[in-house]
Structure 1
């Protein structure tokens, strides 16, 4: 970069806080009288976040009014254009596209009020259900993948309601660029890149969570920039308003998907840096320091947590009937749902009862077995924990081998503390068994298997029942008989002395990725993963009991569901035995190595291909590299006593760069580290790309649009080339988002990279 006079001259290092005097801009009324910034950036932004300024004559003439509201007018134009791109042909595909099969189904559960389970928090899915309810959907459709929508399912209206979140991204991008102090050229470029990226466009036009996730992240970043511009007016109404809205944004984005924690981390790092600077301000009193801390804790920690918890509370209130996700929750919670079968359960457990046994650790499942053997160890029948209800979860409580066999006509013998039992798997008649063989995953524990049958067994089939307590009767001393649902107990192996345990270790594909069950030698009475309760109970000799009066604590249910969500998400790891043709590696994303077919690819099907605008994606990725190189060069020049720029320019360069680079890194790097399956939409539908867009505009702004040496005409030409390239590539690839009809091979010119699987190659 050529050295310039004034701010970029070589000379002795200026004193701290010094600002170059050359090229100082006018302020006040003189500055505001210029309607076109001519590419000027942060120098012309007033302090305190008041981006839209008056000249003292507001409203006196139409011209004054136009000048005052020019930015809003431009924002309105971009909003109208965004409505067109998001709504055009939005109902063209009349079949269930891609993940509409999941999120449309969740809307059905909400409308029917059936409890379900999913790995994502509930806010986004509740908004999908709200869109369905507003559109008149009655919950009668199953949303099977690829199935055609019936006439009574208002899928187009549902898509339009949800696409509104995608529409809002465009004006938010425009205003965020303004608040970041970018030049007018760069602000237009940000808005155009958000408007014309076909990846964001495509993913915003269906019944998905992605448009909501993107909206709340972009909204949170916008609030961050607004709050930053209020730094000179702490504790003013505007300061409190944007701090509170930023907290609400954090709460909402984490309530849509847990990846919202990444933008929460961005806000957190900004806040730590801000408070650290204030800590070094000797003019600030201790009371003011405490007030700043309390304000941020209240708005950025307490408020988002309350929003997050409130979403789950509403979730539980709506889903008050039994449904397909019951087994993920505690037995006590299931008993509170309408329509559950626990009303048919006898209360007291007896020998001869057929039961399902629930692990009480957070995220615990049902004790399970199936006619498949361990490939290592004993090679006996597997025992696992399973989170869905089926017949393989049923066990018969029987006496020891040396005792008289269970007599269904004999006296009833109720199960009590310290009773020794056999647990016989009802479907295969094999007995739950343990022996000094290492468990398949947790090698320090003993393997638990099923062995023998109804006539063959040994002393390794014996388990001692130890009562912990009861939800209604209290401590063990008050528990004379073991009750279904409410009694917590442990199973100690009589020979080995170990305790039956199910935690978060997942078996490989040969164990159907179910949770490992083992026998832990250590006796830890506080380990809830060794706690069990009887859930389903069948015994025709005992009368049913009314469990309707049972209550399940909300905070425990809230924590239980979140742990189950986390465990299920962690289980989404690549299967080495199967090839997922849709999966991609995070290193494939920034330069669009791969795309994703969102639907069937037949000649008579409407085809959607998830790929980005090449100029936006490639330019954004390149700008991150250029930005880091530029920072290193500037630091080296400054170390050699060159003036790179004045203090205000340098502060602005670092501020925008940190928001963009740190935001991009926080959203991208975790996907490299984590072991779960990844797809290209994890880049397109997450805000990773948004931060790359901000960086792209920032680099162009720094080197071109805000340059003091380039003439205005050159800046206009550069902007025209960039804007034209963005708009032109959008127009070229618009079909992948609006839908491609007919044979795909007839649509030439879309294969810009050989790795894209757009065409049907023989």
Structure 2
């Protein structure tokens, strides 16, 4: 779908000469000029100023309350502090939005000493400039409202329609609540709305391709898109929205029957390349730029180290893994730790039960488990594959690709895996141990394991801490693996160790945490200061991307306030952000129910209108003129596509989802609401064609000259003897304003009623709380 073509230019006039869609009927022209006669450019500008002021007031009022850490401020405030400390951290979101918070902290002289560890921690006692941090999303949230208004104005909609769309965002409790806290969604939603606005402006320049303004709005669209996806990866939905419109636009340019004249293939190629550069290459370069800034700032070792490879960690100063790494020799006693779960490879004399709960039979061998604490039962001697060869000598180093045996020191048994199902995974292999006679006798091969160091070169020495590795069983080629589900009581609730047939799985990685056999003061413990290494930017970028997408997809655990996409348009429940027992105050993240239900209802109405129109056309009944249909499909349809693209993909996700994921889609639904309200209230312009030959009549003379119609309208309206058709046009505008006023009255009422839950004050008594539990709103202090 493309942006509808009847777009506003300065002066409030419709740019109809630029329209590729069918020309207006006479009745439509009358209606548009009636609108222009009673609505000037200054009316739009005054309305824009008023809603901007109201947006600032609603976002900034009482922004210092509460003076405590609220909900996800524990994450994004912490990340800003890490940036200011230059300490490496890991997050599943791209860096742009977090860098803005760090910049705001830097502006006010904050040093990042507070780490936002717990919800409810005091900002005042810890001397944190939290109001400055919260001011950033409040500014962006305030600017989002006039941006919505501008989208409607630039798309050619009337003033009441533009006010309804902007008002649905202005007086929405969810948008207000999310933009008053240290959260990323204000940046995301603002960048998304600016992307749509810039594309509308670019589309308006389609009659003047490759001009200065054409390039300006094309490149600004690309920059805005880069800000969306550089804040959160759900910004890709905005790319899909704009990309779909661009694809349809290009398909139209390819048509040899274009009214504006066919383009040659070289000319079409120029259009294609320009959009490729402006909307793909430029955004991607800006997106990469923020990661470059991210890596440049975070130069010190920090809590994000564990998510990265040893090679990546070697680029960070003060990294423990690099500075404390010790080369491992054969016959060293080592403690092996799982990278993700932090459990040690452990064994004890107890044996597996004969049968598991599901009836499967075990080997009844010695248990091998994962244990979270330091213990002598975690110690294993690393031995060469053969008893008598050069590697069996003392001080012989273990290297990449070596085949080794692991002897459990306390029980003097050898690690083994075999083709017996593990306790929890029938497809995975059980790990156990056997005595020396079996280890070097009948089961010699089953005790052999290969050391596969991550990203290692041939012959590279195996080291503690920095040597992340996979332990691959030689005969069966399974990788040693563990997980978080504890064993039953017979396994003392410890972790299961099993053989994973998917050896490429990233959670198969282990490292040597300590070498207890090396005595204190040994020369092996004396290390020269390590120099910080350098690896190429793209290598660091791709490694971080793999980690981000892996952990993003792993966010599948339940959360008490998680919700499903089907619940969002109907606002069935919200999220508790903050409570204070003494004052009975709470912040409950919830949209304006009345506004959301109106917007969701009109989404259904739009779908119904499109369906009815298509059905009528199939039966040969054409109830809409060509231009009205084009406006409905192209403009309102584009907004509907924007809603669908930002909403429907969430049904395909298996990760945790929350109500705030619907905010971009809600903004798009507000655009649909304003556009559809104008459509519904419009007069039947086609019916006017039969009887009207002029709009403004002064002294019985008609003003038919193009460009003079608007000038003639004002005097015509000054007269009381309007024709019936003229009064119909006027009544349509009155109806539109009345409908807009009614919608906004309802929306403002809902906003006001739920304000105490949005601003966290005043506190409500149980009766007042229960009065606001309209649906499944699990509010606090209801008793």
Asked if these proteins are the same fold (TM beyond 0.5), I'd say yes
- Are residues 1:493 and 2:514 paired? no
Q: Are the structure 2 counterparts of residues 314 and 290 from structure 1 closer, same or farther at C-alpha, using a change threshold of 3 Å? A: same
The aligned counterpart of 2:429 is: 447
CA distance in 1, matches of 2:483, 2:646: 27
What is the correspondence of 1:531-610 to structure 2 with a 5 Å cutoff? Answer: 538=515, 539=518, 540=522, 542=524, 543-548=526-531, 550-575=533-558, 580-600=559-579, 602-610=581-589
SS of residue matched to 2:256? coil
What is the correspondence of 1:333-348 to structure 2 with a 5 Å cutoff? Answer: 333-341=312-320, 342-347=322-327
The aligned counterpart of 1:10 is: none
The aligned counterpart of 1:652 is: 631
CA distance in 2, matches of 1:614, 1:470: 53
CA distance in 2, matches of 1:253, 1:515: 42
- Are residues 1:732 and 2:753 paired? yes
- Are residues 1:158 and 2:133 paired? yes
Deviation at 1:238, TM superposition (A): 1.7
**Contact 1:744/1:759 (8 A) holds in 2:** no
What is the correspondence of 1:607-622 to structure 2 with a 5 Å cutoff? Answer: 607-622=586-601
The aligned counterpart of 1:695 is: 672
The aligned counterpart of 1:704 is: 681
**Contact 1:356/1:393 (8 A) holds in 2:** no
**Contact 1:369/1:392 (8 A) holds in 2:** no
CA distance in 2, matches of 1:440, 1:110: 44
Q: Are the structure 2 counterparts of residues 417 and 482 from structure 1 closer, same or farther at C-alpha, using a change threshold of 3 Å? A: same
The aligned counterpart of 1:256 is: 231
- Are residues 1:623 and 2:602 paired? yes
CA distance in 2, matches of 1:256, 1:119: 10
Deviation at 1:493, TM superposition (A): 2.1
Q: Are the structure 2 counterparts of residues 287 and 694 from structure 1 closer, same or farther at C-alpha, using a change threshold of 3 Å? A: same
Q: Are the structure 2 counterparts of residues 489 and 210 from structure 1 closer, same or farther at C-alpha, using a change threshold of 3 Å? A: closer
CA distance in 1, matches of 2:302, 2:128: 22
The aligned counterpart of 2:104 is: 131
Picking from 137, 148, 151, the partner of 2:122 is 148
Deviation at 1:33, TM superposition (A): 11
Deviation at 1:627, TM superposition (A): 0.4
- Are residues 1:672 and 2:657 paired? no
**Contact 1:172/1:218 (8 A) holds in 2:** yes
**Contact 1:255/1:308 (8 A) holds in 2:** yes
- Are residues 1:74 and 2:47 paired? yes
Deviation at 1:726, TM superposition (A): 1.8
SS of residue matched to 1:23? helix
The aligned counterpart of 1:186 is: 161
The aligned counterpart of 1:716 is: 737
**Contact 1:197/1:730 (8 A) holds in 2:** yes
SS of residue matched to 2:26? coil
Q: Are the structure 2 counterparts of residues 707 and 33 from structure 1 closer, same or farther at C-alpha, using a change threshold of 3 Å? A: closer
- The 10-residue stretch of structure 1 (509-518 or 552-561) with the greater mean CA deviation from structure 2: 509-518
Q: Deviations over 1:45-83 (max 9, x none)?
A: xxxxxxxxxxxxxxxxxxxxxx55543343222211111
CA distance in 2, matches of 1:480, 1:86: 58
CA distance in 1, matches of 2:544, 2:753: 45
CA distance in 2, matches of 1:419, 1:157: 56
CA distance in 2, matches of 1:353, 1:326: 26
SS of residue matched to 2:479? strand
The aligned counterpart of 1:61 is: none
**Contact 1:384/1:515 (8 A) holds in 2:** yes
Q: Deviations over 1:147-201 (max 9, x none)?
A: 1213421111211122111111011011011122222110011111111111100
- The 10-residue stretch of structure 1 (195-204 or 719-728) with the greater mean CA deviation from structure 2: 719-728
- Are residues 1:25 and 2:29 paired? yes
CA distance in 2, matches of 1:231, 1:216: 23
CA distance in 1, matches of 2:421, 2:436: 26
**Contact 2:769/2:781 (8 A) holds in 1:** no
Deviation at 1:454, TM superposition (A): 11
Deviation at 1:252, TM superposition (A): 1.2
Q: Are the structure 2 counterparts of residues 626 and 395 from structure 1 closer, same or farther at C-alpha, using a change threshold of 3 Å? A: farther
- Are residues 1:323 and 2:308 paired? no
Q: Deviations over 1:568-605 (max 9, x none)?
A: 12111144xxxx43122222211111122211252425
CA distance in 2, matches of 1:224, 1:451: 66
The aligned counterpart of 1:209 is: 184
SS of residue matched to 2:420? strand
CA distance in 2, matches of 1:647, 1:634: 12
Q: Are the structure 2 counterparts of residues 615 and 187 from structure 1 closer, same or farther at C-alpha, using a change threshold of 3 Å? A: same
**Contact 2:338/2:509 (8 A) holds in 1:** yes
What is the correspondence of 1:41-52 to structure 2 with a 5 Å cutoff? Answer: none
CA distance in 2, matches of 1:124, 1:328: 21
Deviation at 1:132, TM superposition (A): 2.0
Q: Are the structure 2 counterparts of residues 491 and 711 from structure 1 closer, same or farther at C-alpha, using a change threshold of 3 Å? A: closer
SS of residue matched to 1:598? strand
How many pairs were matched up?
A: 690
Q: Are the structure 2 counterparts of residues 537 and 663 from structure 1 closer, same or farther at C-alpha, using a change threshold of 3 Å? A: same
Q: Are the structure 2 counterparts of residues 402 and 715 from structure 1 closer, same or farther at C-alpha, using a change threshold of 3 Å? A: closer
**Contact 1:488/1:531 (8 A) holds in 2:** no
Picking from 477, 491, 501, the partner of 1:520 is 501
Picking from 399, 406, 409, the partner of 2:383 is 399
**Contact 1:79/1:168 (8 A) holds in 2:** yes
**Contact 2:329/2:394 (8 A) holds in 1:** no
Deviation at 1:520, TM superposition (A): 3.4
Deviation at 1:289, TM superposition (A): 1.1
The aligned counterpart of 2:286 is: 307
SS of residue matched to 1:703? helix
What is the correspondence of 1:156-305 to structure 2 with a 5 Å cutoff? Answer: 156-281=131-256, 283-305=262-284
CA distance in 2, matches of 1:733, 1:290: 53
Picking from 299, 313, 332, the partner of 1:352 is 332
**Contact 1:664/1:689 (8 A) holds in 2:** yes
Q: Deviations over 1:629-672 (max 9, x none)?
A: 10011112223333332322211111223222222222222222
CA distance in 2, matches of 1:224, 1:513: 57
- The 10-residue stretch of structure 1 (349-358 or 414-423) with the greater mean CA deviation from structure 2: 349-358
Q: Deviations over 1:300-333 (max 9, x none)?
A: 2212221222111111111111111101111011
SS of residue matched to 1:563? helix
The aligned counterpart of 1:413 is: 396
TM-score (norm 2): 0.78
Q: CA RMSD in A?
A: 4.2
Unaligned runs of 5+ in 2: 1-19, 686-727
Deviation at 1:95, TM superposition (A): 1.0
SS of residue matched to 1:711? helix
Q: Are the structure 2 counterparts of residues 699 and 414 from structure 1 closer, same or farther at C-alpha, using a change threshold of 3 Å? A: same
